[in-house]
Homo-oligomer: A and B are copies of this chain.
Amino acid sequence: MKCKQYFDVKKDYRSRCPISLTLDLLGDRWSLLILRDMMFAGKRHFREFLQSDEGIASNILAERLSRLVEAGILTKSDDPTHLQKAIYSLTPMGLDLLPALAQIGIWGRKHMPVTSESAAMAGKLAKEGDRLIAELTAKLKREHLAQH
């Protein structure tokens, strides 16, 4: 499945290079952190993303979430357990970003001033990446795709 935002809507892109197109969509400082929160911290609700350590502003969070939904990376639906809340789910396209996020985390753990607590998951990924990514993908598929 290809990204809706680029196929349904005529949109500017800098080139047709796959890396450049991906950065056109996700190369800001926040979008991948929202996906990180969903993949590695199990977050699904607006308020949960807002509480992450990086302190995203609520207007930026709202804009990024709707852009990710528009692109076909997330879906937004009513949370059956909370009548007034929306729940966000990863689509298969969103799930496919897990290996890229894992590699970004592995690089950061090796070269940036992480704390041991913050780098626990990246440490596991560095040691047993393929197996852990497969396991996590299966878990996320059960939790995110089952409802759709």
Question: Taking beta carbons and an 8 Å cutoff, which residues of A are in contact with B?
Answer: 1-3, 6-7, 13-25, 27-29, 32-33, 36, 52-55, 93, 96-97, 99-115, 117-119, 122
Contacts and interface: CB of A to CB of B under 8 A. Distances in A.
Given A3-B112, A29-B23, A15 B53 contact: yes
Given A32-B27, A100-B100, A106-B99, A111 B1 contact: yes
Contact of A27 (B21, B27, B114): B27
A102 to B, nearest CB: 8
Contact of A36 (B17, B104, B118): B17
- In the A-B complex, list the 8 residue pairs whose CB atoms are closest, starting with the nearest: A18-B108, A100-B103, A15-B53, A21-B112, A22-B108, A14-B54, A16-B118, A18-B109
